[in-house]
Amino acid sequence: MVRSINYTQKAYNYLKEQIDNNVILPGTHLKEIELAEKLAMSRTPIRSAMEMLEEDGYIRIEPYKGAIVSKTTLNTKAIVDRLQFVELLISELLRQMQDKDIQVDIDAIINIEHELEKCCEEDNYISYYDSKLKLFHLLASYHSNHYFRQVLLNTISDLYDIYRSRVEKHHKTFLKEQEMMSAIYPPLIEGLKKQDYATVHKYFRMWINRLILHQINY
């Protein structure tokens, strides 16, 4: 019995670490046979570990589909790594937009700007993050590579899921972000309107750096 429990804990620790460190991504199907072979154990402790992971919110077990990773909460290092990855992607996106002399849809930018302002006034954090995602969807649409667009939007969407979850538990987090972004978004939006991508890049970097500092101190 002790041996079985140890194997279960070993499988649980392995999967939890892989999910926490973003090695196994949300939406991944976990297969008992493959994991049993990888960890050199039977499927019984794997199944028990998955039940524990489901209780802790890391995975969901669906009929006919099996175990699917559902956890989006990452540790500090993984979140910082993702933020730095977003910065690289945004830099590449803005470089291509500048090289191709792309003019963004001004009306769409203004609508998003007004939505963000309204969300802040109404203290509506759900719509606030939805509006920010609209901005990234708009910018990503100007990149020529479909895979690039998908990676950028999936990465940002996962981060925003984490931020939404935090705000639900600690509303002061939203107020801090509003204060932090109040000096960044106006010139960033204005830079997009004027096609001044050097300025846009500058304020995106400021945004990322502040999020990283906030994450480290969280």
Say how far apart CA 175 and CA 168 lie, in whole Å.
12
What tokens were used for 198?
């050097």
pLDDT value at position 63?
82
Parse the chain into domains and list their residue ranges.
Answer: 7-69, 76-217
**Would you identify the CATH topology of the domain 76-217?**
Four Helix Bundle (Hemerythrin (Met), subunit A) (1.20.120)
The CATH class for the domain spanning 7-69 reads mainly alpha
Say how far apart CA 206 and CA 188 lie, in whole Å.
10
Task: Give the predicted TM-score (pTM) of the model.
Answer: 0.66
Instruction: Tell me the pLDDT of the chain (218 aa) as tens digits.
Output: 344 569 999 999 999 888 877 678 888 899 999 999 999 999 999 999 999 998 877 888 888 788 998 855 566 777 888 899 999 999 999 999 999 999 999 999 999 999 999 988 888 888 998 999 999 999 999 999 999 999 999 889 888 888 887 787 777 777 877 887 888 989 999 999 999 999 999 999 999 998 898 887 76
pLDDT value at position 2?
42
Can you give the chain as a three-state secondary structure string?
Answer: CHHHHHHHHHHHHHHHHHHHCCCCCCCCEECHHHHHHHHCCCHHHHHHHHHHHHHCCCEEEECCCEEEECCCCCCHHHHHHHHHHHHHHHHHHHHHHHHCCCCCCHHHHHHHHHHHHHHHHHCCHHHHHHHHHHHHHHHHCCCCCHHHHHHHHHHHHHHHHHHHHHHHHCCHHHHHHHHHHCCCHHHHHHHHHHCCHHHHHHHHHHHHHHHHHHHHCC
Say how far apart CA 203 and CA 185 lie, in whole Å.
8
